[in-house]
């Protein structure tokens, strides 16, 4: 009998722990708040404790895109929500109320106002969630990541964006050759603008990315120098001489740069070819290429061309395409 009684009490205690984990400080389970305050604080407490489904249960309108509304993304949030309070306005009714909430994100105070509506016997927050904002100069070929989840960065003003809970998040870029600096995204509340780091986010090539692009440029230059047919060469040129294509030679002039791996390329939109070849650019080169052409009449033409930079298409990191810019 003693053994059975012990097991019975253990089961009761276990059920009590489970039940306690799915209620708010007011004792109401998610989606069944008996007061406007319980719904408002229950939502923020669920977000603070990383319970995404519980937080969603307090919303009247459910978002269709839930990629960032998960426990894993909330666990990745840099700063938790603390010090939650809620107070209703005096002019509400038995169907609608307005609640002032206050809390802290990373120690910084935040205030907001929620509209709430009663459906049946339960109160719900009648608001929509903020979304990932537009980000300038984000590579169109690489997704943004929040909490490891890939999302569109809202490149265009008419993008709907991806919903987020209040909190502070770290951004990433889904490309093996790129990294993003100053990549903190703060969602202070349901109504205040989403805040990006003042001088970011800034996308750049990783050290390995710089090396890969510079190596591809050097290989392209080597290929060009080995070519005899003008259509294969890296340069744009015109010539009226009667040239035997098989007798054209290309070589590097020692007066210019001979090793492209010494110039670090940088990610940015570059020139009129930016959308096609870009957005990786390398500028400040001074490569001199000597073209020696032997005419069919026995003469020799020598001309020196200069390359001032190049643009690289890194959309496929395993097959980087290079286009040189000519002075």
Q: What is the pLDDT of residues 142-151, one digit of tens each?
A: 888 988 888 8
pLDDT at 275 over 60: no
Q: What is the mean pLDDT of the chain?
A: 81
pLDDT at 87 over 90: yes
* Chain segment 209-258, per-residue pLDDT in tens: 999 999 999 998 888 888 766 555 566 665 555 666 666 777 888 888 88
* Chain segment 69-85, per-residue pLDDT in tens: 999 999 988 678 999 99
Report pLDDT for 320: 92
Report pLDDT for 182: 82
Q: Which residues on neighbouring strands pair with residue 149, listed in sequence order?
A: 146
Q: CA 174 to CA 171: how far, in whole Å?
A: 10
Q: CA 173 to CA 178: how far, in whole Å?
A: 7
Residue range 31-50: mean pLDDT, rounded: 95
Give residue 184's pLDDT band: very low, low, confident or very high (50, 70, 90): confident
Candidates 260, 164, 151; CA nearest to 213 is 260
Report pLDDT for 199: 73
Report pLDDT for 5: 42
Q: Most confidently modeled of 14-18, 68-72, 132-136, 256-260?
A: 68-72
Give residue 28's pLDDT band: very low, low, confident or very high (50, 70, 90): confident
CB 63 within 8 A of CB 49: no
Candidates 236, 227, 247, 265; CA nearest to 302 is 247
- The Cα-based distances of 63 to 30, 68, 115, 130, 145 in angstroms read 17, 11, 17, 11, 19
Is 266 or 1 the better-scoring residue by pLDDT?
Answer: 266
Query: Against a cut of 0.85, is the pTM above it?
Result: no
Domain segments of the chain as ranges? 2-125, 144-201, 207-326
Q: CA 297 to CA 291: how far, in whole Å?
A: 18
Architecture label for domain 2-125? Roll (3.10)
Is 239 or 89 the better-scoring residue by pLDDT?
Answer: 89
Report pLDDT for 287: 87
Mean pLDDT lowest for which of 14-23, 147-156, 159-168, 311-320?
A: 14-23
Candidates 225, 223, 254, 238; CA nearest to 322 is 223
pLDDT at 33 over 60: yes
* Chain segment 136-178, per-residue pLDDT in tens: 778 878 888 988 888 875 544 445 678 999 999 988 999 999 9
Question: Which alpha helices (DSSP H) does the chain contain, by range?
Answer: 2-20, 36-48, 52-56, 71-76, 207-226
């Amino acid at each position: 009998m003693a053994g059975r009684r012990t097991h019975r009490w253990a089961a009761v205690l276990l059920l009590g722990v489970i039940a306690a984990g799915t209620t708010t400080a007011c004792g109401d389970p998610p989606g069944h708040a008996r007061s406007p305050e319980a719904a408002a604080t229950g939502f923020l407490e669920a977000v603070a404790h990383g319970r995404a489904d519980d937080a969603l249960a307090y919303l009247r309108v459910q978002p269709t895109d839930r990629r960032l509304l998960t426990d894993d993304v909330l666990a990745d949030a840099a700063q938790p929500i603390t010090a939650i309070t809620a107070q209703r306005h005096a002019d509400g009714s038995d169907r609608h109320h307005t609640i002032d909430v206050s809390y802290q994100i990373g120690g910084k105070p935040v205030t907001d106002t929620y509209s709430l509506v009663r459906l049946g016997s339960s109160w719900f927050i009648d608001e929509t969630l903020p979304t990932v904002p537009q980000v300038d100069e984000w590579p169109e070929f690489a997704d943004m990541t929040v909490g490891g989840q890939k999302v569109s960065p809202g490149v265009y003003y008419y993008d709907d964006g991806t919903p987020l809970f209040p909190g502070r998040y770290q951004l990433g870029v889904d490309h093996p050759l790129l990294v993003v600096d100053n990549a903190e995204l703060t969602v202070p509340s349901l109504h205040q603008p989403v805040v990006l780091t003042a001088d970011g986010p800034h996308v750049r090539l990783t050290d390995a990315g710089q090396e890969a692009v510079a190596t591809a440029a050097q290989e392209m230059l080597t290929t060009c120098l080995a070519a005899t047919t003008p259509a294969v060469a890296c340069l744009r040129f015109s010539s009226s001489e009667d040239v035997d294509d098989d007798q054209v030679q290309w070589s590097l002039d020692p007066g210019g740069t001979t090793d492209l791996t010494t110039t670090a390329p940088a990610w940015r939109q570059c020139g009129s070819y930016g959308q096609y070849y870009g957005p990786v650019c390398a500028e400040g080169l001074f490569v001199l290429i000597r073209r020696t052409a032997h005419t069919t009449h026995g003469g020799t033409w020598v001309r020196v061309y200069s390359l001032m930079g190049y643009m690289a298409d890194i959309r496929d990191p395993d097959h980087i395409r290079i286009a040189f810019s000519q002075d």
